[in-house]
Amino acid sequence: MPTTTTTPIRVAVVGFWHVHAGDYARQSVEHPGTELVAVWDDDQDRGRAGAEQFGVEFVADLDALLAREDVDAVTITTSTDVHRDVITRAARAGKHVFTEKLLAPTVDECEEVVAACEAAGVALVVSLPRLYHGYTRAITDEIASGRLGQVNHARVRLSHDGAVVPWLPERFFDPTTAIGGALTDLGCHPVYLTQLFLGARPDTVQAVYRSVTGHAVEDHAVVTVGYPSQAIGVIEAGFVAGTPFTIEVAGTAGWLSYTDQEARLTAGGSAYGDEPVTIDVPEDAQDAFGRWVDHITSGTRADDNVARAVELTRLVVAANAAARVPATV
C-alpha cells in the first residue's frame, strides 16, 4: 500500500446521514495528522448544514469531490444501503476510507468493498470502537489467561432511548436505507464483542425482534448464538431503554462482569478466591480513527479490523434472517 506523504492528510466527509458523521468530522479537525476540507451529501440541505457547521466547502457532485487532488481520504457516513457503491467509487479514485458500521448490507458486498480497497492500495478501516476500549482488553486478557476455565457464556447489552424520547432520526427506521433497526445499528457493538469473546462463527443463530414504537424495523432485539464448544452468546440491543452497557463472560472456573454504570470490571468464582475481586482496566488504546491515520501514513493494512467487520456483517445478516422465522412454542 502506498504511503500518503501529504501532511496533514486532507479528509472529506461523504454523507451526513449517520448520527456519528459529525463525530468523525470533528476528529478530522482535531487530529494533528488530518485536515477537514470538504463535505458531500446526497441530501444537499443536510450536506450544506454539515459543511457550514465545520466551516468547509460543500460539493454537490460526488464524482467531482472524489476527483479532487486536495482530497486524500474520506469518512463515509452515508446510509448503509449505498456503502458498496460509495466506498468502491472512493477506492477507485485512490481515496483512503474510514467508514461507519455496517461495512455493507451483505457479505458479498463487503467482500467487493474489501477487494476494491485492496486493488486500489487504499487504507480501509471500519469504526468498531469498543474493540479498543480498556475493558475489552482486560476481559480478553482474563480469557487468554485461562483463569475462567472453559468459557461457555457471554452476554453483551447495549441500549439507548433514542426511539422513545425521541432523538434518533426517523431515517434510522427506514428498512431500505438503514437495512435494519436496533440490531443492525447499535447491536453491532455487542455482536463484534461477542465474536471477540466466543468466536467469529457460531453454528446456530436465533433472534427475537420487536418494535415498541411501531416502526418498520425493530427497536429492540435479542439474538442468541451457539457454538460447537457448547458456549452460548446473548446479544441485546435496543432503542427503547437507556440501560447500562453490560458485559458478562463466564467459564467453568470463573466469571467476569463489567458495566459502564460503575466503570468497573469484577471477577469471581473458584479461580478468584472466596470473594469477588476488581480487575484493573487499562486506558483505552488508540481509537479506530487514529489507527486509520496511522495505516495511511505508514502504508499498512488494517487486516484484523477489516476481517472483523466482514464477520460482523455475516452475523448481523444471519440474525436478521433468523428474526424473520416465526417463533414456535
Amino acid identity, position 235: I
Q: Is the pLDDT of residue 308 over 70?
A: yes
Res 5 pLDDT > 60: no
Q: Do the Cβ atoms of 234 and 224 come closer than 8 Å? A: yes
Q: What is the structure's pLDDT at 3?
A: 47
CA-to-CA distance for 180 and 211, rounded, in angstroms?
12
In which residue are the cell numbers 478468584 written?
Answer: 272
Residue pLDDT, tens place only, 247-259 = 999 999 999 999 9
pLDDT tens digits, 222-272: 999 999 999 999 999 999 999 999 999 999 999 999 999 999 999 999 999
Name the pLDDT band for 274 (thresholds 50, 70, 90). Answer: confident
Fold of the CATH domain 9-127? Rossmann fold (3.40.50)
Kindly list the domain boundaries of the chain, sorted by start residue: 9-127, 134-283+317-323
Q: 149: how many CB neighbours lie within 10 A of its CB?
A: 15
Q: What's the grid cell of residue 107? A: 457479505
Distance CA 138, CA 141 (A): 5
- 103 contacts 126 by C-beta, under 8 angstroms: yes
Q: What's the average model confidence in pLDDT over 161-177?
A: 96
CA distance 237 to 209: 10
In our burial notation (b when 16+ CB lie closer than 10 A, e otherwise), range 65-86 reads bbebeebbbbbbbbbbbbbbeb
Q: Give residue 4's pLDDT band: very low, low, confident or very high (50, 70, 90).
A: low
For the chain, first and last CA: distance in Å?
Answer: 54
pLDDT confidence tier of residue 121, bands split at 50, 70 and 90: very high
Q: For position 1, what pLDDT does the model report?
A: 52
Give the cell for residue 164.
Answer: 422513545
Residue that the C-alpha cell 477487494 belongs to: 115
- What are the φ and ψ backbone dihedral angles of 34, each rounded to 5 degrees? -135, 160
In sequence order, which residues have a C-beta less than 8 Å from that of residue 117 and are 6 or more positions away? 87, 91, 97, 123, 124
Say if pTM beats, i.e. exceeds, 0.85.
Answer: yes
Residues 116-122: what's their mean pLDDT? 98
CATH of 134-283+317-323, one of 3.30.360.10, 3.40.50.720, 3.40.50.1820, 3.30.710.10: 3.30.360.10
* DSSP structural state of residue 193: H
DSSP string, 70-100: T--EEEE-S-GGGHHHHHHHHHHTT-EEEEE
- Cα(326)–Cα(307) distance, rounded to whole angstroms? 31
pLDDT in tens, 30-80: 999 999 999 999 999 999 999 999 999 999 999 999 999 999 999 999 999
Q: In this structure, how many other beta carbons lie within 10 angstroms of the beta carbon of residue 112? A: 16
Return the DSSP state at 183.
T
- For residue 181, give the C-alpha cell: 433497526
